[in-house]
């Protein structure tokens, strides 16, 4: 009886699975609508200038950043589903999930990409006044630490 009860409690993980799935879909829909609105406003404005191009480039980089975050949340949702509910879901090889460590590794990989996009956004928007060297250096240290974490985990797994 205890064994069946404990086995059934794995379905409580449906709460974060559903929550993260809704959050991911909502975030991606919201950002898609924001992108369409921005492009329509730009077309409606009718002017073309280097400043508008730079503003558009920064906006598109921010869109990519939000999409990456949405994808990371989606990956967490389907990974938790595969781990706790149904491990027969067909996944691409790069998204194969064997345990929670694999979920964390996938998340760390996306965080690295998000941090790189964050710096790219700041670099494109840079006006020459702010010191982006310190910001870039801090991000580089974080990315290096996360990459080291992934490398150590990969070697430890072998």
Residues 108-126 have pLDDT tens digits of: 988 998 899 889 888 888 8
pLDDT band at 158 (very low <50, low <70, confident <90, very high): low
Query: Which residue did the predictor score with more confidence, 94 or 107?
Result: 107
**Tokens matching residue 69:** 């975050």
Mean pLDDT, rounded, for 139-146: 95
Residue 44: pLDDT band (50, 70, 90) is confident
pTM of the model: 0.76
> Cβ atoms within 10 A of the Cβ of 117, count?
19
Q: Which two tokens stand for residue 43?
A: 């077309």
The H or E element that residue 16 is part of is helix 14-45
Total domains present in the chain: 1
Segment 131-136 shows an average pLDDT of: 89
Q: In terms of residue numbers, what domain contains 75? A: 2-157
Task: Give the model's confidence band at 17: pLDDT under 50 very low, under 70 low, under 90 confident, else very high.
Answer: very high
């Amino acid at each position: 009886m205890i064994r069946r009860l404990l086995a059934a409690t794995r379905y409580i993980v449906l709460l974060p699975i559903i929550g993260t799935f809704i959050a991911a879909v909502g975030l991606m829909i919201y950002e898609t609508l924001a992108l369409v609105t921005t492009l329509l406003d730009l077309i409606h404005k009718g002017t073309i200038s280097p400043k508008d191009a730079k503003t558009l480039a920064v906006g598109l980089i921010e869109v990519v950043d939000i999409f990456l975050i949405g994808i990371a949340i989606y990956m967490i949702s389907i990974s938790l589903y595969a781990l706790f509910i149904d491990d027969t879901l067909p996944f691409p090889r790069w998204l194969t999930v064997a345990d929670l460590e694999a979920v964390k590794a996938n998340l760390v990989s996306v965080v690295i990409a998000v941090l790189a996009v964050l710096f790219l956004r700041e670099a494109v928007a840079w006006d020459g006044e702010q010191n982006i060297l310190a910001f870039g250096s801090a991000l580089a240290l974080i990315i290096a630490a996360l990459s080291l974490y992934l490398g150590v985990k990969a070697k430890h797994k072998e």
